[in-house]
Structure 1
Amino acid sequence: MSWSITGAAARRTGRASRRAAAAVVAVTAAAVGLSVLTGGTALAGKGTDGASTPVVTRAALDPSLVAGRGASVDFVEQEAENAVTNGAVIGPDRTAYTLPAEASGRMAVKLTPRQYVEFTLPSAANAITVRYSIPDAPNGGGITAPLDVTVNGRNRSTMTLTSQYAWLYNQYPFSNDPKAGLLHPDWWITECSCVPSATTPAPTITKPFRPNHFYDEQRLLLGTKYRAGDKVRLTVPVGSRAAWTVIDLLDTQLVGLPHVDVSAANVLAFGADPFGRRDSAAAFEKAIAFAKRKQVKVYIPPGRYRVNRHIIVDDVTIVGAGNWYTIIKGRQVDLDTPAPDGSVHTGVGFYGRDAADGGSTNVHLSGFAIEGDVRERIDTDQVNGVGGAMSDSTIDGLYIRHTKVGMWFDGPMSNLRITNNVIVDQIADGLNFHTGVTDSVVSNNFIRNSGDDGLAMWSDKTADAGNTFDHNTVQTPVLANGIAIYGGRDNTVSNNLIADPIREGSAIQVGSRFGAEAFTGYLRITDNTTVRAGTYELNWDIGLGAIWFYALEKDIDADIQVTGDHFLDNTYNAIMLVSDWPVKDLYSITNVRFKDVKVDGTGTSVVSARAAGSASFENVDARNVGAVGVNNCGSFNFTAAGSEFSLTDLGGNDGGGTTGPWLAPWELPNTITCDDRPPVVTPPAPSAW
């Protein structure tokens, strides 16, 4: 079907398309046969009898606990610790810089050669995604290692795993060198409780120092449709270069046929190479120019295209055959001289024009994958999957991995719709609305293993306003937060699922920091679910909240309502309101309203207040609370009049823990109940309310 349709496209685009027809036949056939797309061999065969009951989860939870929240995705998650294995289950552990802590659900399975983990398909599937970790090379830079995939004991494929995009070390912005000394010897180091450069004798820092970002993931088309009950086994073969292989989870799905667009300008007609042997950037640009003149779309058929620089897009629609089939991959390229924006590298990415040049409009990107080659964090580099400024535009159905940030937008810009994308394995953020992004929506996206905030609005210099983050899933951000809102006006965070933030952040942060404009108008945080959040803040040596408000540079005094949210299995606190010590008497957090909230399990308190200000609570139900319900330190002046932070009970606040009701009358309005670092009680697993 694909080659005859492409012939029709060739007639529309002229002689160049006719010359490309043979290549289209070859690449489409190759895509169906998998040799282009997977790098492995997948052979069809019959299933075997016998079945075990698969355990299907969402963010390592019973799906019933998060119904209606997070992204609706076309794959099914199974955690390795719930599968059949002869390996070793590791975890649970939430201690940063450990393999279990960065795993979904804080558990995984560790295999050595000859060991396996076996999953039972809960539904028909022809494709898998494996989230895994293997060791780094002794001097950094990563290794590769095989992983055998069989279905029903047959049909063996071999995936080539890599740690080239994992394993960072040291202090921010991190190093790829496990033997490097401190990047910032003048910074406070928790491990020695000192500033090394000011300490005599200098402390000995264990190397590698603070290893992190252990995991990566890889996809594989299996070549045939398998039935529910069939068994997918992942085995580490004898002779693997990896001393161990950790399997975190398996996603399975049924991928449809490649999408074909017969009326579009086919990039093959302009010289694009679907086998990736030569750079196709110029061919893409020719196709885009032609499509704009003829007012048609650009179509990128199945293939693996090499693109080593930005493709500038404006007033154009670009569609692929589907993100399993159309893969646009590039290596990171050193620039001879730094770019005006400070970049020292370039790489694959689709960018709107700079906002200073008017930005881009009417851009529509869909149905392809972007795979970068970013292995280090350089904050001045523009090596993101999608970037620039795009107004009145849509981005739908992309798969982005191994770039610095999946999508980073520098406004001012407005009316951008970002839907149904998968963003994984980033060095920094998953997505960031930076500087004056307005009236835009990020909905039904799945983000996993970001190296910084999963989703962020950063009102740097100009307020982000009128935006919505809705029905997204964010899992295992290695650093910082699942969703972060830094200033802005009239924004909404709703119906999201955020799980397993690792360190120095949490599920949701409302922060006056990073030079952001003040919060004004309203902020609505509504009907979100967080799980296993409330991390340890390395520099403060305290536990955070699943949601935390941070007044570092300005007061937080907008109309902020937290309504209908569920905070499950909180490592420390469910809710935290804090100001940094040097500014504790300058900035406050006032008039935050919590209503119809459920808290199931806290390692410490329901509310921890470490700032001046106030909040009200109505119908906030809590259970399995590990410490006193309200840990109220205020701004640490311990006045005779009580804490500088007051709590208002609007009724219906029920439940608590071993210390009694979480919001007891004696705590109101501002009793000092300050315990700087209370003992942590491990919460039980969440359950139906």
Structure 2
Amino acid sequence: MHRHTLRSPAIATTVALAAGMLVALGAPTAHAAAGATLPFTSVEAESATTTGAKIGPDYTQGTLASEASGRQAVRLDAGQRVEFTVPRAANAVNVAYSVPDGQSGTLNVYVNGTRLAKTIAVTSKYSYVDTPWIPGAKTHHFYDNARLLLGQNVQAGDKVAVEATGTQVTVDVADFEQADGPAAQPAGSVSVVSHGADPTGEGDSTQAFRNAIAAAQGGVVWIPPGEYRLTSSLNGVQNVTLQGAGHWHSVVRTSRFIDQSSSSGNVHIKNFAVIGEVTERVDSNPDNFVNGSLGPGSSVSGMWLQHLKVGLWLMGNNDNLVVENNRFLDMTADGLNLNGNARGVTVRNNFLRNQGDDALAMWSLYSPDTNSSFENNTITQPNLANGIAIYGGTDISVKNNLISDTNALGSGIAISNQKFLDPFHPLAGTIAVDGNTLVRTGAMNPNWNHPMGALRVDSYDSAIEANVRITDTTITDSPYSAFEFVSGSGRGYAAKNITVDGATVHNTGTVVVQAETQGAATFRNVTATQVGAAGIYNCPYPSGSGTFTLTDGGGNSGWSSTWSDCSTWPQPDQGNPDPDPTRNLAKGRPVTATGHQDVYTPGKAVDGDANSYWESANHAFPQSLTVDLGSTQAVRRLVLKLPPSSAWGARTQTFSVQGSTDGSSYSTVVGSQGHRFDPATGNTVTVSLPDGTNLRYLRLHVTANTGWPAGQFSEVEAYLS
């Protein structure tokens, strides 16, 4: 589904001041702890012992640190390691990592200093996703997950280390778990192996699964320990249970597990893994664990879902579906999307990491999702959109979820009337947003050129008429605002009927309330500490479209000030992600080009490896390469490289250096001239920039190359001195 086709709402020039009504309306009620109860404990790499280099924190779209858990990670060159202190008894580990585009390698694993025979394979195959049809998107989805049964038990306090071999590896986080042994076959169940399935993964088990499902109607299909390869999707699945021996033991390899538009229901899927081979996002392809419908009264539980486009893309009748205790990892789009006509659906106690769009979404297309809920889920690192998004629907609950580290085009939670397609059913009834915890959520929106809040109410395509009740919310370390009220289309529809009752806001980068459209909300018992710029930004757009009225319901503190100039946007002080003045400003930064040849992509010019290189489209001068340094810098020196191998003959490239502070208006910093790259001198060219040069976007504009009919750079390095 195409997300975030947002038009930039220009900043208004008048201030609508808050109306006051000092009436105390009661304290917030206690609620359950936010997030899922998980069978593993995560340890951040940056908190471990390492011989590598820590990166971050950084919130800049398109950087490794900004997509990492906690916005920090550890970069390991070959031979370097990070050593974790095990937090609990465990016999299994899952590692979230990234490797440079186009590369692969392994992680050696050590337990208390002894190297295991087993290794963890790492690859960029499932990373570096591009979605050019989504405005504002850049290359994203840098991380991946890889898991390993250790073959032994470790105890709390033991040491488990991983060591990079073969390529640079950025390690983000490790999950330690005591995995159960394989479960026994249920009595009376029908084994897929008895119908010809191959547990070695070599043969095609598709027909065996179909035959077992047909034979087990009203009963259980058993998936024994092993790996099973399916080459096409299953359909006609109804009135059956599909059950494995546990997701560490029963693994199905397919990118399309169930694809069916309808079902009579009573389908129960549990306790195995479905791991796909999806390496890009193609919205027209049903590359999903479930595409369509499981039918009423169904359930999905205890599953490990990975490397798919979407975990569950649910259309048709899915009444009273329960999705619980699952792991969703590394999807190129949504984790789960209730795509209309879902009644009484409960999605609870799931863990979702590294989704390429909304992690959990309800979208009321064709008919409204009603009386459905997202409860006690833990969501981390959705790298293009929101943690949880509610697009229309009636009487929806978003309760006790823990969401962290959203990136680029998303908030932690979005309550929205953005319709995308018709017929759409806007928000109606009561939308209850209760007991949620949001950590480092919200992001700079490149379409609007200003931020999205941690929790966003968006009257995108129509006014908010539902009663939106936001209660008992905790918002911590939001890079920008805590609560945002906006009409994201820029058409100024009202966001009204909103109450925010009981919230703790700590260390928000800009403001507590970001009001950008007409409407009204009542706030009570909202306390804020360490507010970055001001309590309130109240600048509805379009100018003159109406005011946003903030009613003080009592019990509020720490955010009474108002940002006074609607012609400017408050900027957070997020610190310098890398204080070293000798650093290469361009390394690992977002990079684009006018084109590239074959696998020689732009990212190879800033990956820190002089042996890999960018090559433009051939026979098509001029060509250019542009690096986003993340903020305006006083660049004084460029070091440009080609691979040092003597196989690269000497050549002269003719190019100019251009710079920009806003990414749209460029000026020439160094005029066009020929620069000789010679392997005898390291195939390196140094270009000095004039004093007074300040730029964020660095562009090399290439018009000729005597050695090859294309622009070529293996490394573009930028320095302050």
The answer to whether the aligner puts 1:152 opposite 2:112 as a matched pair is yes
SS at match of 2:202: coil
SS at match of 1:276: strand
Q: 1:282 aligns with which of 173, 185, 207?
A: 207
Corresponding residue of 1:366: 270
SS at match of 2:454: strand
For the 8 Å contact 1:128–1:219, the answer to whether it is kept is yes
Letter in 2 for 1:314: Q
Corresponding residue of 1:653: 556
SS at match of 1:438: coil
Q: 2:503 aligns with which of 597, 600, 604?
A: 597
Q: What are the equivalent positions in structure 2 for 1:608-687 lying under 5 Å apart? A: 608-637=514-543, 644-655=547-558, 662-663=559-560, 674=566, 676-682=568-574
Q: What are the equivalent positions in structure 2 for 1:216-365 lying under 5 Å apart? A: 216-237=144-165, 240=166, 242=167, 244-263=168-187, 264-292=189-217, 295-312=218-235, 313-330=237-254, 347-351=255-259, 353-355=260-262, 359-365=263-269
Cα distance, 1:67 vs. partner? 8.0
Which residues of structure 1 form unaligned runs of 5+? 1-65, 138-142, 174-186, 190-208, 331-346, 656-661, 685-689
In structure 1, distance between residues paired with 2:494 and 2:361: 22
Cα distance, 1:636 vs. partner? 4.0
Corresponding residue of 1:558: 466
Q: 2:374 aligns with which of 438, 457, 469?
A: 469
Aligned residue pairs, count: 539
Q: What are the equivalent positions in structure 2 for 1:382-397 lying under 5 Å apart? A: 382-390=286-294, 391-397=296-302
Corresponding residue of 2:392: 487
Higher relative contact order at CA 8 Å, sep ≥6: structure 1 or structure 2?
Answer: 2
Which structure shows the higher strand fraction?
Answer: 2
For the 8 Å contact 1:602–1:682, the answer to whether it is kept is no
In structure 1, distance between residues paired with 2:304 and 2:439: 25
CA RMSD of aligned residues (A): 1.8
TM-score by structure 1 length? Answer: 0.76
For the 8 Å contact 1:369–1:400, the answer to whether it is kept is yes
For the 8 Å contact 2:343–2:371, the answer to whether it is kept is yes
SS at match of 2:36: coil
In structure 2, distance between residues paired with 1:558 and 1:481: 21
CA deviation string 1:292-339 (max 9, x = no partner): 1xx421110100100121122211011100000000002xxxxxxxxx
CA deviation string 1:212-239 (max 9, x = no partner): 21100101001111122211110113xx
Corresponding residue of 2:76: 111
Q: Which moved more, 1:487-496 or 1:511-520?
A: 511-520
Letter in 1 for 2:212: A
Letter in 2 for 1:253: E
Corresponding residue of 2:128: 167
Corresponding residue of 2:138: 210
Corresponding residue of 1:78: 43
Corresponding residue of 2:483: 575
In structure 2, distance between residues paired with 1:497 and 1:308: 36
Cα distance, 1:523 vs. partner? 0.2
The answer to whether the aligner puts 1:512 opposite 2:381 as a matched pair is no
In structure 1, distance between residues paired with 2:489 and 2:184: 59
Cα distance, 1:644 vs. partner? 1.0
For the 8 Å contact 1:498–1:531, the answer to whether it is kept is yes
Alpha-carbon distance change, 291 to 79 in structure 1, aligned in 2, over 3 angstroms: same
For the 8 Å contact 2:270–2:300, the answer to whether it is kept is yes
In structure 1, distance between residues paired with 2:393 and 2:560: 31
SS at match of 2:308: coil
Corresponding residue of 1:123: 88
Cα distance, 1:504 vs. partner? 0.8
For the 8 Å contact 1:399–1:422, the answer to whether it is kept is yes
Q: 1:460 aligns with which of 353, 360, 365?
A: 365
For the 8 Å contact 2:469–2:499, the answer to whether it is kept is yes
Alpha-carbon distance change, 566 to 170 in structure 1, aligned in 2, over 3 angstroms: same
Letter in 1 for 2:572: V
Cα distance, 1:683 vs. partner? 9.4
Alpha-carbon distance change, 574 to 541 in structure 1, aligned in 2, over 3 angstroms: same
Cα distance, 1:73 vs. partner? 0.5
Cα distance, 1:569 vs. partner? 0.5
Q: What are the equivalent positions in structure 2 for 1:135-150 lying under 5 Å apart? A: 135-137=100-102, 143-150=103-110
Corresponding residue of 2:24: none
Letter in 2 for 1:153: G
In structure 2, distance between residues paired with 1:673 and 1:411: 49
Cα distance, 1:261 vs. partner? 2.1
In structure 2, distance between residues paired with 1:134 and 1:86: 17
Cα distance, 1:637 vs. partner? 2.1
In structure 2, distance between residues paired with 1:234 and 1:447: 23
Percent identity, please.
40
For the 8 Å contact 2:130–2:280, the answer to whether it is kept is no
For the 8 Å contact 1:534–1:547, the answer to whether it is kept is yes
Q: What are the equivalent positions in structure 2 for 1:398-409 lying under 5 Å apart? A: 398-409=303-314
Q: 1:449 aligns with which of 342, 349, 354?
A: 354
Letter in 2 for 1:583: R
Cα distance, 1:672 vs. partner? 7.1
For the 8 Å contact 2:129–2:281, the answer to whether it is kept is no
Cα distance, 1:534 vs. partner? 1.6
Cα distance, 1:675 vs. partner? 5.2
SS at match of 1:305: strand
CA deviation string 1:332-378 (max 9, x = no partner): xxxxxxxxxxxxxxx43134x413xxx33100000000011111111
CA deviation string 1:40-84 (max 9, x = no partner): xxxxxxxxxxxxxxxxxxxxxxxxxx9821011100100000000
Alpha-carbon distance change, 170 to 320 in structure 1, aligned in 2, over 3 angstroms: closer
CA deviation string 1:377-397 (max 9, x = no partner): 111111101232121011100
Cα distance, 1:170 vs. partner? 5.9
Letter in 1 for 2:144: D
SS at match of 2:482: strand
TM-score by structure 2 length? Answer: 0.73
For the 8 Å contact 1:364–1:393, the answer to whether it is kept is yes
In structure 1, distance between residues paired with 2:228 and 2:242: 14
Which residues of structure 2 form unaligned runs of 5+? 1-30, 577-721
Corresponding residue of 1:521: 429
